[in-house]
Amino acid sequence: MRQITEALQRAERILVITGAGLSADSGLPTYRGVGGLYNGHTDDGVPIETALSGPMLRHDPALCWKYLAEIGRACIAAKPNPGHLAIAELQRRKPGCWVLTQNVDGYHLAAGSAPQRLIEIHGTLAPLYCMDCGETSDKLAAHLAQPLPPRCACGGVLRPPVVLFEELLPEPALGCLRDEIEKGFDAVIAVGTSASFAYIVEPLLRTRHSGGFTAQIDPAASELSQIVDVHLARGASDVLPQLVRHIFGD
Q: Which of 84, 108, 122, 143 is catalytic?
A: 122
Write down the pLDDT at residue 79: 95
> Does the annotation mark 41 as catalytic?
no
Q: Among 234, 244, 216, which residue's Cα sits nearest to residue 82?
A: 244
Q: What is the pTM of this model?
A: 0.94
| Mean of pLDDT values over 68-76 | 93
Return the exposure string of 220-246: e unless at least 16 CB atoms fall within 10 Å of the residue's CB, then b.
Answer: eeeebbeebbbbbeebbbebbbebbeb
Q: List the domains of the chain with CATH numbers.
A: 2-28+80-125+166-248 (3.40.50.1220), 32-77+126-159 (3.30.1600.10)
Kindly report the CA angle at 23 between 18 and 9, in degrees rounded to 5? 45
Q: What are phi and psi of 234, to 5 degrees?
A: -145, 165
pLDDT digit string (tens) for 162-183? 999 999 999 999 999 999 999 9
Longest CA–CA separation in the chain, Å? 57
Reduce the DSSP state of residue 215 to 3 states and report it.
strand
What pLDDT does residue 228 have?
Answer: 97
Q: 167 pairs with which residues across the strands?
A: none
Mean pLDDT of 117-132: 97
pLDDT digit string, tens, across residues 195-245? 889 999 999 999 999 999 999 999 999 999 999 999 999 999 999 999 999
Strand intervals (E) in 26-108 = 97-101
Condensed to tens digits (0 to 9), the pLDDT of residues 21-47 reads 999 989 886 655 554 444 467 888 888
